[in-house]
Every structure is written in structure tokens, then in C-alpha cells.
Structure 1
Amino acid sequence: MALLWRRLKLVVMVTMVNLFIFIIISRQSSQDKNGHHKVHIPSKPFWTKLVPNIAYWNRQQQILDIQNNPILVSNYSGAEIPEWLNDTSLTSDPCQPNFRVTTQVKDYNSLPGRFKDFLIYMHCRSYPIMVDHPDICKEPPFLLLAVKSLAPHFDRRQAIRQSWGRAGVIANRTVVTIFLLGNATAGDHHPDLSEMLHYENFRHKDIIQWDYRDSFFNLTVKEVLFLEWIQTRCPGARFIFKGDDDVFVNTYRILDFLKGLSEPKARDLFVGDVITNAGPHRDKKVKYFIPESMYTGTYPPYAGGGGYLYSGDIAARLHNVSQHVALYPIDDVYTGMCFRKLGLAPEKHKGFRTFNIEEKYRSNPCAYKSLMLVHPRTPQEMIQIWAWLSSPDLNCQ
């Protein structure tokens, strides 16, 4: 009898709950029929009118973002597209100087020459290759060492070849070394060293050179050309180190580090001396000065350009995304911008010392054993440190 009574109570309870739900739904349906609480679909786009950024780089990036966003593009008919969005200078080919920029940057005439040169050719991404070695990665290397250099820096390149940039097999891993050069022009008061460079390349077969002005602001051009070169000449490289020709790199430590990575970690690897919460320098006396008319905002996290290490998979992704990021005159910041565009962030590693180590440790061989990179170092110091690390008698316990 008690069991029957409990079942009856359960049936009544379920019935009451269903009746309550039915009443609520009926009331909402009645309200909809009377025109209350209906969802209204807007007849016009919900986004605000696009306004061009006052800073030239930011505005060029706006244009790229909109041109590559089918939703935003479809929101405008051909007649409604604002004039500033029709700027096609970003993709002009062949590369010609864009003199329209002289009226698009408010203080253009008062900017230093290096800014004027960068702005006029900012849209240029393709330059002829003058020296190449198509078969240098015929056997895909485990590690590709790509060193940014200038034509006159013969002593730095030779010191690297004799020390940390020795090509061949190191610690049972294939290593390939290349030097990335532009054109040292007479306009920058460089002597004509083309014959010496020709002999150097004939002797070592490790120079990659493009026909563009090799200046500080054009290091970003060197970056995008190198990313393109990897995809055509060395797509099988497992890992890439890219750095300057005035750093010491502990190749032994890098190879040891890479061998210990898991597969997912190795695939997404990008490590270096990461700088965060930085922004453009506004002091005209600073090498990295950027005027407000050129860029506003903060910088994304980026690895210092002295040197960083990343995977071949990341190199391919950087190459693809770089085509959607406007060139910026500081190459390591630009790489950080590309990384942000990928939705990724570089990883800081304490083994990268782009701002040197304490002076009291600089002559201690063991101070370099656990490091991957130290900046700066002279050619003589590179050879000395490499000799220390290569010595079988080195004991750092």
C-alpha cells in the first residue's frame, strides 16, 4: 500500500511540472503573437563605419586585414568602398617607388632619409636573387644556421665558419650554414667588394644574396626573402637558427636541446630572448626611433633579432602569414607581428643572452656551456669560445 502511494505522488508531481512548463511556453507564444519580446533582425550592418588609422603602418595593415576578410569585403559594394581602402600600393608588382606616400604621411618631409626610403618601397617584397645555391639542402639538414650579414663583414663570416657555424655533421646531426646578404650600394658609401665576395662564395659556397639595398630598415625585407627561400630551397630543414653575424652560438647546446624535445613541442618551437610590453621609441636619437605618424600602439611579444630558434613547420607558417602583414622597419618586431597574426607567442629561453652576460663571467669557458647564444662577440672571441667548448679537457662540474 505504501509503495502504491509513493508512485501516485510521483505521477502527480511529474504532471504538475509538465503543466507548469506548458503554461510558460504558452505565455511566451502568446507574447510573440502579440508582437512583444520578438527578436528583431537589424536591417543594416551592426559594425561602425571604418575609419582609417592616422599612422601609416597601422592604416596599411587595416587595408590588408580588410582585403583578406571576405565578410568585411562583402559588406561593401564597389561604389561604397572608401577611397582609402582602394590603395593598391601594397601589392604593386613589379616594384616601383610609391611616391603617393609623400602626401599620406603628414610629416614625411621632416623624416630622416632612412624613413623616406623605407616608406617609398614599403610595398616591395620581391627582389632578384643574385647568388644562390639551389642544391645546398639536397640532403635536408637537421639544423639550418642562417646568418644575417653585410658584404664587408668578411672576418665575421670566416670566424663563424671556423667556429659555431661549421657545416657538416656535428654531434651526429647534419648542419648547413648560409649567410644572408643584400646589396651594399655605393649610395651608402660602401666600397666595391664584389670581386672579393665572388671569390668568397666560390670558395665556401654558402652565400645567398639578393639585389636590394642592405640597410638596417631593410632587414625585414631580408626576413621575408629568406622565408620564401626556405620554402623553395630548403623546405626539409627540421630546425632553423636565424641570427646576426656578431653573436656566439653554442651549436652543441642547441643540438642537445633539440634532441630532447617531444614531437608536439618540436613542431611548434620558437624560442629566443623574448621582449614583452615594449613599444616604439619616440626619441629621435635612438636607433630604433619610430615616429607616431608611422606607427601607434604597443608591440606584440617578440624575440630579439640577435638570434632565435624555430622549427621548419613554423617557418612555413610564418612565410604564409607574412604575406598578410605590412612590412615594418624593425625585423624582429615584424616577426613578432607575424607570430601574433598566427595566434601564437614566442617562448622565452634563458639560454639566449642578447644583452650579454655579466662581465666577470665573460672569460670563463664554463659560463658558455649551458648557453645557446651570447651577444655581442668579436670574430676573435667566437673562435676562442668555440675552442674552449670543443676541448675534451673542459670540466665544468
Structure 2
Amino acid sequence: MALLRSKLKLMVTVMTINLFIVILIFRQSGQDKNGSDKVRVPSKPFWTKLTPVSAYWNLQQQILDIQNNPILLSNYSAAEVPDWLIAANLTSDPCKPNVRVTTQVKDYNSLPDRFKDFLLYMHCRSYPIVVDQPDICKTPPFLLLAVKSQVSHFDRRQAIRQSWGRAGVLANRTVVTIFLLGQATAWDHHPDLSHSLHEESLRHRDIIQWDYRDSFFNLTVKEVLFLEWIHTRCPGARFIFKGDDDVFVNTYRILDFLKGLSAPKARDLFVGDVITEAGPHRDKKVKYFIPESLYVGKYPPYAGGGGYLYSGDVAALLHRVSQNVVLYPIDDVYTGMCLRKGGLGPEKNKGFRTFDIEEKYRSNPCAYNSLMLVHPRTPQEMIKIWAWLSSPDLNC
């Protein structure tokens, strides 16, 4: 009796399932006949045509995005391409001033001179290299230390050479150091130190210099020129540290940190002192002041320009995507923009202290032992801290 009941229950279950399948098939076939579930291809674009942004940088980026996107560009026929989309189609070679910007930025005449200079030449990315070290990466380095410097900062460069930027083999890893320079112009009231720089370059063979005006707003130019230099001269570098010449870097700690990375982590590495949810300063007295006529919106997450560490793979990515990101007058923000364009983001690491450490710890050698970067430090302090960390008697 129990066996009969089990068979009956099984038959009812199977019949119920079959009936449910038949109903589904019937409903599906009915919907197909009505055409309600068929894939529909739109007969015309379903996106709206973009309207221009008023801020000059945002507009230039918007134009560049459209020009590099065949889907968005196809939204316009040849006869109806708007004037604002054609107006910024400039060539960057030769690098002549774009005088049209004087009327395209509404408050151009009232802006400080540094903005006028930047706006006139922001389309230019290519400058001649006047001092190069083409064979410095003949043996691809494990770590490339790239230091932003200026012609007159000889004492800082020398202190770095004698301390954390000492090239050669460190902790069984090859380290190469280079200094990135532009031109010190008479326009900025700099003395002529070209002879001294030439002698320095012959002696140390670590100077890379381009023929452009080395100013705060042109640090972004230095960034894109450096990315091009890596691409052509040092593509085999495993990792790159890029920073200012007034920071102290614990190269020992950086090498130790890199040694412990997994392969995927090492490939996409970009770490530093990351700033999030930031936006342009509107106070004209602030060094980083940006007018609304130039940029609107928030900044993407970015690592403070005092120094950050990234992989050779990320360097190649930045080189590629930077060609589709309009130059911005703040270089570390610009690098954050390029990272976002490339689908990556910077990772915050507590070892990067771009806003210094507490004063009570600054004379303690052990305070630097676990850090990778501290900003700022004088040339004398760099040498002293390096001596602390290099001492076999250090016990932290």
C-alpha cells in the first residue's frame, strides 16, 4: 500500500512539472508571435546630443571625448557638426600660442599671468629634449627613481645622490635615479646656470632636461614628457617612484614593500598619500586656485604630488591614456584624471606622509624606519636621516 502511494505521488509530481513546462513554452511562443519580446534595433540614436560645458577645461575634454568616440561622433552628420566641436581641433606641432583662447575664456584678461601662459600653450605636449641619458636603462632597473627638480636646485640633487637616491644595487635590486628638469628662463628672473648644469650632467649622467619653461603650472608638461621618456628610454623598469626633490624617501622600505607584492598587485600598483572628494580651490590667494571659468566639478581621487609609487605596467597605461586627457595645471590631479581614464584608482598607503609627521617624532630615527616618504626635508636632513637608517646599530 505504501509503495502504491509513493508511485502515485511521483506520477503526480512529474505530470505537474510537465504541465508547467508546456504552459511556459505556450506563453513564450505566444509572445514571440506578438513580437513583444523580440530584440528591437532603434531606427535612430537614442542618446541626446551633448551640449557644451562652459568651463574651458571641461569643454576641451568633452570635445576630445567626442572626437575619440565613434558612437558619440556618429550622432552628428557632416553638415550639422556644431561650431564648438570644431573650434578646438588644434594641432600641437608646432607649439604656437592659441590666441583664440583669449576670447573663449570669459575672464581671461583678469586672470593671473600663470593662467594666461598655461591656457595659451595647454594644447602643446611635445618639446625638444636638450639633455638625455639614452643608455641609463640599458639594464632595465627594478626601481626607477624619477625626481622632479629645477636647474637651481643643485644642493637638493646632490643630497639625494648621497642618500636615498644613491644609484646602483641596493638590497640586491638595481636602482636607477634620474632628475627631471625644464628650462630656467630669464622671464622668471633665474640666473644663467646652464654651464654649471652641463658640468653636473657630465659628471653624474642622471639629468633629463627638456626645452620648455619650468614653472608650477608646467609640471603637467613634465609629467607627459616623462611618460614619453619612459616609453622610449626605459620601458623595462619594473617600478617607478616619482616625486619632488624636497622629500625624504626610505628606499630600503620601498624595496621591502615591493618584494612582498603578489603578481596581480604588482601589475596594477599605484600607491601614495591619496586625496579623495577634493575639488578646485576658489580662493585666489591659494597656490592651487582654479577659476570656475577653467574647471567645474570634483577631482578624481589622486595621490599627492610629493611622491608616489607605481608599476611599469601602470606607466605604460598612463602614457597611453594621457594622450586623451587634456592638460590640467595641477600635475598630481592630472595623473588622477589619467588613472580614472584608464580604469584604475590610486591606493592610499600610510607609509607616504606628504604632510609630514608629528614634530615630536621628527628627530627619532625609528619614526622613519617604517615609512616610505616624508615631506618636506632639507638636503641636510635627507643626509642625516639616511645615515640613521643605514646604520647597522639601528634597533627599532
TM-score interval, normalised by the smaller of the two chains: over 0.9
Structure 1 residues 27, 344: closer, same or farther in 2, change over 3 A?
A: closer
Query: Match for 1:312: what amino acid?
Result: G
Q: Decide whether the 8 Å contact of 1:146 with 1:242 is kept in 2.
A: yes
Q: TM-score, normalised by structure 1?
A: 0.94
Q: Which residue of 2 aligns with 1:373?
A: 373
State the Cα distance separating 1:4 from its structure 2 match.
Answer: 6.4
State the Cα distance separating 1:3 from its structure 2 match.
Answer: 5.3
Aligned mates of 1:236, 1:214 — CA distance in 2: 28
Structure 1 residues 24, 238: closer, same or farther in 2, change over 3 A?
A: closer
State the Cα distance separating 1:22 from its structure 2 match.
Answer: 4.4
Q: Which residue of 1 aligns with 2:66?
A: 66
Is there any run of 5+ residues in structure 2 with no aligned partner, and where?
none
Q: Which residue of 2 aligns with 1:285?
A: 285
Structure 1 residues 28, 204: closer, same or farther in 2, change over 3 A?
A: closer
Q: TM-score, normalised by structure 2?
A: 0.94
Aligned mates of 1:106, 1:152 — CA distance in 2: 37
Instruction: Deviation per CA, 1:75-125: give whole Å up to 9, x if none.
Output: 322222222222344543222211111121111111111111111111111
State the Cα distance separating 1:18 from its structure 2 match.
Answer: 4.4
Q: Decide whether the 8 Å contact of 1:246 with 1:379 is kept in 2.
A: yes
Q: Which residue of 1 aligns with 2:57?
A: 57
Mapped pair 1:209 → 2:187: no
Question: Counterparts of 1:304-323 in structure 2 under 5 Å?
Answer: 304-323=304-323
Instruction: Deviation per CA, 1:284-318: give whole Å up to 9, x if none.
Output: 00000011111111111111000011111111111
Query: Match for 2:308: what amino acid?
Result: Y
Mapped pair 1:45 → 2:12: no
Aligned mates of 2:159, 2:34 — CA distance in 1: 85
Instruction: Deviation per CA, 1:147-166: give whole Å up to 9, x if none.
Output: 00011111111111111111
Aligned mates of 1:375, 1:211 — CA distance in 2: 28
Matched positions, count = 396
Q: Which residue of 1 aligns with 2:329?
A: 329
Instruction: Deviation per CA, 1:345-394: give whole Å up to 9, x if none.
Output: 11111111100111111111111111111100111111111111112222
Instruction: Deviation per CA, 1:220-242: give whole Å up to 9, x if none.
Output: 00000000100111111111110
Aligned mates of 2:17, 2:323 — CA distance in 1: 60
State the Cα distance separating 1:20 from its structure 2 match.
Answer: 5.5
Q: Decide whether the 8 Å contact of 1:89 with 1:98 is kept in 2.
A: no
Alignment RMSD: 2.1
Q: Percent of aligned pairs with the same residue?
A: 84
Is there any run of 5+ residues in structure 1 with no aligned partner, and where?
none
Aligned mates of 2:126, 2:135 — CA distance in 1: 21
State the Cα distance separating 1:337 from its structure 2 match.
Answer: 0.6
Aligned mates of 1:342, 1:103 — CA distance in 2: 33
Aligned mates of 1:260, 1:23 — CA distance in 2: 59
Aligned mates of 2:212, 2:75 — CA distance in 1: 39
Q: Which residue of 2 aligns with 1:362?
A: 362
Aligned mates of 2:210, 2:341 — CA distance in 1: 27
Q: Which residue of 1 aligns with 2:176?
A: 176
Q: Decide whether the 8 Å contact of 2:152 with 2:193 is kept in 1.
A: yes
Question: Counterparts of 1:9-88 in structure 2 under 5 Å?
Answer: 10-11=10-11, 14-15=14-15, 18-19=18-19, 22=22, 26=26, 41-88=41-88
State the Cα distance separating 1:27 from its structure 2 match.
Answer: 5.9
Structure 1 residues 95, 34: closer, same or farther in 2, change over 3 A?
A: same
Query: Match for 1:74: what amino acid?
Result: S
